[in-house]
Amino acid sequence: MKTIAVLTSGGDAPGMNAAIRAVARYAMHKGCKVYGVNRGYRGLIEGDLEEMNLLSVCDIIHRGGTILRSARSEEFMTVEGRNQAATVLKIFGVDGLVVIGGDGTFRGARELSNMGIPTIGIPGTIDNDLAYTDYTIGFDTAVNTVLDAIGKLRDTSSSHERVSIIEVMGRNCGDIAVFSGLAGGAEKVIIPEIDWNIDEICKDLLKSKNKGKMQSIIILSEGVGKAQDLADQISEKTRMECRATVLGHIQRGGSPTGFDRVLASKMGAKAVQLIMEDKTSRVIGIKDNNIFDMDIYEALEMEKTFPEGLYELTDILSN
C-alpha cells in the first residue's frame, strides 16, 4: 500500500479543491493511504499532516479556495527548511508527494526531486503562466469572473459614454487579459508580452468615437501597470471620460467552472496513477485536450509563448 501526501501552495485558484478531492478519492480507490498537508510547504516543514478519508473531501468540488489552505514559505527556500520537510515526509512514510500550484510551487517540487523525494506537480494557478501546458486549473474560472465584470462595466460605461479600463491579474503573463478581452469584446488588450504606445491607443479611441462608438473597454494586464494611471493619461490626452477598475483577488475566488472541475479531476487521478507506477519528478499538463505528464526539469525550462492569434483576433474584431 502506497502513502500519498497532497498540498496546495502559492496563490490559491478555483478548482484546487476539485484536484485535492480527485487525488484523495482516486488514491483511496487504489487502496492508498492519503495525507493532506495544511498550508503548503510551511505546513510540511511543521509536520502539519492529517490523514484523509472519503468524508474529508466531501462537498468541496464546487468550492473555490483550498481546504488545505495555502502559504508562501520563506523557510522552504532554505536548505535547512527543505531538509526538515524531507524528514517529515520520512516520518509519515510518504511514498509520493503531490503538489498543486504554480511556477514557485513547481520550483519547490524540483528541489525536493533533487533530494530524491518522489514528487508530482499539478498546475493550479489563475495565471496560466506555465509554458508546458495549454491550461492551468483556475484559469478558466478567472476568465469567466473577468467576463462577468466586463458585462457589468459595459452597462454603466455605455450609459455614461465612458472608456472603462479593467486591470486583471496574471503577473507577467497576459493570458487572462487576452482570453477575457477576446471573449468580452474589448476594444484593446494591453499585455506585458507586447509593446504598446499610449498615443496609438488614444488615436484608436478617438477614431472609434468619431465613428459613433461612445464607449470602449480596455483590458490591462497587471504586469504592464496601473489602471488608474492609464485612465489619467487617456483622459488627459483625449478628453474622453475614463474610469479604472481593479478586479484584484475577486479573480481568485468563486466556484470553479465545469472546465476547471473536469481538468482538476483528470489531473488528480493522473497524479495518483503516476505514483502507483513509480513515475515521479513529473508534472501533469493538458495539450490539445489530452492529459499528459512530463519531466519537471524539462517543463520548468520551457518558455511561455503568448496566444498571439487570439490577441490579433481581438484587435481585428474590435474595429
Residue with cell 488514491: 27
Residue 245 pairs in a beta bridge with 166
Nearer to ligand F6P (CB atom), residue 47 or residue 253 = 253
What is the rounded CA–CA span in Å between residue 206 and residue 203? 5
Is residue 298 a known part of a binding site? no
Is residue 249 a known part of a binding site? yes
Distance of CA 264 to the CA centre of its chain: 12
Pairing of strands 49-51, 33-37: antiparallel
Is residue 171 a known part of a binding site? yes
What is the rounded CA–CA span in Å between residue 118 and residue 280? 5
Is residue 248 a known part of a binding site? no
**Considering the complex, what minimum distance in angstroms separates the CB of residue 13 from ligand F6P?**
7
> Smallest Cα–Cα separation from 161: which of 242, 231, 249, 246?
242
| Beta carbons within 10 angstroms of residue 246's beta carbon | 16
Residues found near ligand F6P in the complex (CB under 6 A): 11, 102, 125-127, 169-171, 222, 252
Is residue 110 a known part of a binding site? no
- Exposure string for 187-216, b = 16+ CB within 10 A, e = fewer: bbbbbbbeeeeeeebbebbeebbeeeeebb
* DSSP class per residue in 89-115: HHHTT-SEEEEEESHHHHHHHHHHHHT
Is residue 199 a known part of a binding site? no
**Considering the complex, what minimum distance in angstroms separates the CB of residue 170 from ligand F6P?**
5
> Are the beta carbons of 123 and 136 closer than 8 angstroms?
yes
What is the rounded CA–CA span in Å between residue 36 and residue 92? 11
Helix, strand or coil, per DSSP, at residue 123: strand
Nearer to ligand F6P (CB atom), residue 171 or residue 209 = 171
What is the rounded CA–CA span in Å between residue 277 and residue 22? 17
User: What would the grid cell of residue 306 be?
Assistant: 503568448
Q: Active-site residues: which are they?
A: 127
**Considering the complex, what minimum distance in angstroms separates the CB of residue 165 from ligand F6P?**
18
What is the rounded CA–CA span in Å between residue 139 and residue 175? 9
> Are the beta carbons of 124 and 100 closer than 8 angstroms?
yes
**Considering the complex, what minimum distance in angstroms separates the CB of residue 12 from ligand F6P?**
8
Is residue 81 a known part of a binding site? no
> Are the beta carbons of 97 and 7 closer than 8 angstroms?
yes
**Considering the complex, what minimum distance in angstroms separates the CB of residue 168 from ligand F6P?**
8
**Considering the complex, what minimum distance in angstroms separates the CB of residue 9 from ligand F6P?**
11
Is residue 62 a known part of a binding site? no
Residues making up the annotated binding site for substrate are 125-127, 162, 169-171, 222, 243, 249-252
Residues making up the annotated binding site for ATP are 11, 72-73, 102-105
